[in-house]
Amino acid sequence: MTATATTVRADCAADPAGALTFDLAPAATVPGPEAVLLLRRRGGAGTTVRLPLTSTAPGRLRAVLPPSADVPEGRWDAYVEEPGSDHTLTVLPGLRDLRALVDRTPDTGTATIRSRVPYPTLDGRLALRCWVRAPHAEAGAIRVGPSGMSAEGELYGVEVGEGAVVEARLPGEPARVHRVPLTASGQPGGFAFTLPYAPLAEGPVTEERLWRLWVIPSPGAKAVRISRILDDVWSREHTFVYPGRPVADGVRATPCYSAANDLCVRLTPPAA
Amino acid sequence: MHISFLLHNAYGIGGTIRTTFTLARTLAEQHDVEIVSVFRHREAPAFGTPDGVTLRHLVDTRKKSATYDGDDAEHARPATVFPRGDSRHKQYSKLTDARIAAHLQRLEADVVVGTRPGLNVHISRQTRRGPVRVGQEHLTLDNHGYRLRREIAHRYTLLDALTTVTRADAEDYRSRMKLPGVRIEAIPNAVPEPACPPAGGDLKWVVAAGRLHRVKRYDLLVRAFAQVAAVRPDWRLRIYGGADASGDEKTTLRALIDQLDLHNHVFLMGSATPLEAEWPKGSIAAVTSDRESFGMTIVEAMRGGLPVVATDCPHGPVEIIEDGTDGRLVPKGDTDAIAAALLQLIEDDGLRHRMGRAALSASERFDPARIAERHERLYTELIAQGARRRGHGPVRTALHRTRGTVLDGAYALRYKAADVLRKGKSA
């Protein structure tokens, strides 16, 4: 053990109302009464959120992130900072009791959907994945047909109007857009669409293409990105995996999620 | 009392390491406890040093360490004390033979505890007169190959006691091995109470956990879940666990999920640490293995308040679950029975909640305090019996060692002959 600790472990818990608590484990170096939990947005040029640490028992400190707190979308690294000292502690993930995040079903009238999932980074630190969507399109079940995919989902903060469509967009190629009709389904906010793969595979597919899917609730309305963020899975890229289908000449199309949990269709070129 | 554990590698990850740490930490509340790790390949133990326990190593395999032992010429020569039948034999050497011997010959402890067959053999053969010698079996006798069983049969006779993790395995040792004077006792593994509250029992998820290895038979579980999802599409299955080094089971399971069109219902979650926070995200746990030496995940799930549907495979499940009370036992390998038991608990909320509560209270018997007490009682009784009454005074030890040496020679010859035969065949 070094004389000065550089890390502190924190247990996290989510409550049904959407608050997150961070309980620091008792450590050799107990932060002083002025210490705060510092969240620093990755790649966010100095964007920070500071949460006061309050004592819940001798040697035990807790920070609370209330549901209404304004934490912009992104990945946030956690530190414990002592004002007036340049010594910050890196926070390590302890127990993450996130059962309250599983299968969240907010009211579809909710204007702003916030989702926050504490997670362990690959190098073993505690981070927080935050989404802020207003409005929001949540993806649900995905069916994979022989030549296309169908998906169900819910819209939050906006209603499906006449002429609603799902738009597939290819980042970097704004001219390439494919639209399919979006239909309202049974339950409030519910929607469904079917997207054939063939148009997405037009032109020679020489490298991987990742089509992103957006809902346009009515003509001229702001596009709503389709994602899946209402649970405890901070990155579903490798866990919510769907079968691929051949489209043409060795090209395969596969519904998938990006590391940021956005719904996509991936086209892979023929194996060289 | 002073208790000294001998562990293969306290710095790695695995069930034996975890359970030894739990036991050592609990015993250390009352006793002087050390863990001696044969190998050390990294700075700090992956599981963290257990509170109150002294940890040291015998052979340093950290390449950058000033005391790196890997280049020692003796380390390149095959071990002769550590038995060849133990699957770790390749990692052991003349150097480990000597280091372990030196450790055991000057050991100042009341009890020395081995944690795998090869180390139990070392303890049996090399411990100086004085300390009580206890071997632990974390797998099962029938899991060991013929060679190791033979080695155990003639080497374990100088142990004072052997502990198994199930009563079934203890019975196997008693009936199949002639180990006169060796007390054989079943003491299950300890599982601490989780740090988070028990499951509420209303989230519509079934949870399974364990490395993705064929013996875990996740294929059965996935097939059973096809039947479950057909009846109750609102329920889903999470399987936690990393890909196993011994096979690409993940790809196989992925293909099965696709083939059965279960991609909206069955999810391979990868590994999660600590796992105890994942159980309460579900309301039922499933363990469908072909064999479980003990059944650690069953107890972990029960301590999290989940009723477990488990296959009645050898050896552990039947000694953990009381079928129909705190979980369900179904015939090994029977997909329909797994599906039926899952659906029974899914369809009957009251039953699921009752069994979850029963699982929570029944699993208290695996609490580290209660399990450590059983080890402590065993050690205390053995110490009280004294070395003379334990039946192996110096004469018997010497006799046995001589016989052992002769047998060693015979075995060596026989294995050499067998090797030649095998090589001849494959050539």
- Three-state DSSP state, B168: helix
Contact B270 A241 (CB under 8 A): no
Q: Is the ipTM of this complex over 0.85?
A: yes
Burial A190-227 (b: 16+ CB within 10 A, else e): bbbbebebeebbeeebeeebebbbbbbbeeeeeebbbb
- Domains B2-190+370-392 and B205-366 equal at CATH topology level: yes
- Domains A7-97 and A136-268 equal at CATH topology level: yes
DSSP letter for B349, please.
Answer: H
Residues of B in contact with A141 (CB under 8 A): 264
- Three-state DSSP state, B233: coil
Per-residue pLDDT reduced to its tens digit, A54-105: 988 888 899 999 998 999 999 999 999 988 777 889 999 999 999 999 999 9
Contact A74, B174 (CB under 8 A): no
Distances B275 to B190, B193, B308 between C-alpha atoms, Å: 16, 13, 16
Domain ranges of chain B: 2-190+370-392, 205-366
DSSP letter for A139, please.
Answer: E
CA A76/CA A91 separation, integer angstroms: 12
| CATH number corresponding to A7-97 | 2.60.40.10
Using the Cβ of A95 and the Cβ atoms of chain B, whether some distance falls under 8 Å is answered with: yes
Q: Which CATH superfamily is domain B2-190+370-392 in?
A: Glycogen Phosphorylase B; (3.40.50.2000)
β-partners of residue B54 are B34
The CA-based dihedral angle spanning residues A64, A67, A70, A71, taken in that order and rounded to the nearest 10 degrees: 70
Question: Chain B closest CA to A68's CA: distance in Å?
Answer: 24
CA A225/CA A221 separation, integer angstroms: 12
Contact A97 B280 (CB under 8 A): yes
| CATH number corresponding to B205-366 | 3.40.50.2000
Residues of B in contact with A240 (CB under 8 A): 263, 267
Walk along chain B (427 residues) and give the pLDDT tens digit of each residue.
999 999 999 999 888 999 999 999 999 999 999 999 999 999 999 888 999 999 999 999 999 999 999 999 999 999 999 999 999 999 999 999 999 999 999 999 999 999 999 999 999 999 999 999 999 999 999 999 999 999 999 999 999 999 999 999 999 999 999 899 999 999 999 999 999 999 999 999 999 998 898 989 999 999 999 999 999 999 999 999 987 766 679 999 999 999 999 999 999 999 888 899 999 999 999 999 999 999 999 999 999 999 999 999 999 999 999 999 999 999 999 999 999 999 999 999 999 999 999 999 999 999 999 999 999 999 999 999 875 455 555 555 555 555 455 555 555 555 555 555 544 444 3
CA A199/CA B21 separation, integer angstroms: 58
Question: What's the confidence (pLDDT) of residue A271?
Answer: 83
Q: Report the residue of chain A nearest B195, measured CA to CA.
A: A95
Q: How many residues does chain B have?
A: 427
DSSP string, B115-155: -SHHHHHHHHHHPPSSSEEEEE-SS-GGGS-HHHHHHHHHH
Contact A102 B281 (CB under 8 A): yes
The closest CB to that of B280, out of A99, A142, A239, belongs to A99
Residue B419, both tokens: 């090797």
Domain ranges of chain A: 7-97, 136-268
Contact B203 A99 (CB under 8 A): yes
Contact B327, B359 (CB under 8 A): yes
CA A149/CA A142 separation, integer angstroms: 7
Using the Cβ of B45 and the Cβ atoms of chain A, whether some distance falls under 8 Å is answered with: no
Contact B254 A103 (CB under 8 A): no
The closest CB to that of A243, out of B197, B263, B274, belongs to B263
Using the Cβ of A98 and the Cβ atoms of chain B, whether some distance falls under 8 Å is answered with: yes
Contact A96 B277 (CB under 8 A): yes
Contact A239 B268 (CB under 8 A): yes
Residues of A in contact with B280 (CB under 8 A): 97, 99
Contact A95 B204 (CB under 8 A): no
pTM value? Answer: 0.91
DSSP letter for B214, please.
Answer: G
Q: Report the residue of chain A nearest B279, measured CA to CA.
A: A99
Q: What is the fold, at CATH topology level, of the domain defined by A136-268?
A: Immunoglobulin-like (2.60.40)
Reduced 3-state DSSP string for A66-78: CCCCCCCCEEEEE
Residues of B in contact with A97 (CB under 8 A): 196-197, 277, 280
Using the Cβ of A13 and the Cβ atoms of chain B, whether some distance falls under 8 Å is answered with: yes
Distances B300 to A271, B50, B193, B272 between C-alpha atoms, Å: 44, 19, 9, 14
- Three-state DSSP state, B397: helix
| Cβ atoms within 10 Å, residue B401 | 13
CA A167/CA A181 separation, integer angstroms: 9
Contact A98 B277 (CB under 8 A): yes
Positions in chain A whose pLDDT score sits under 50: 1-3
Residue in the block written with tokens 């009580």: B132
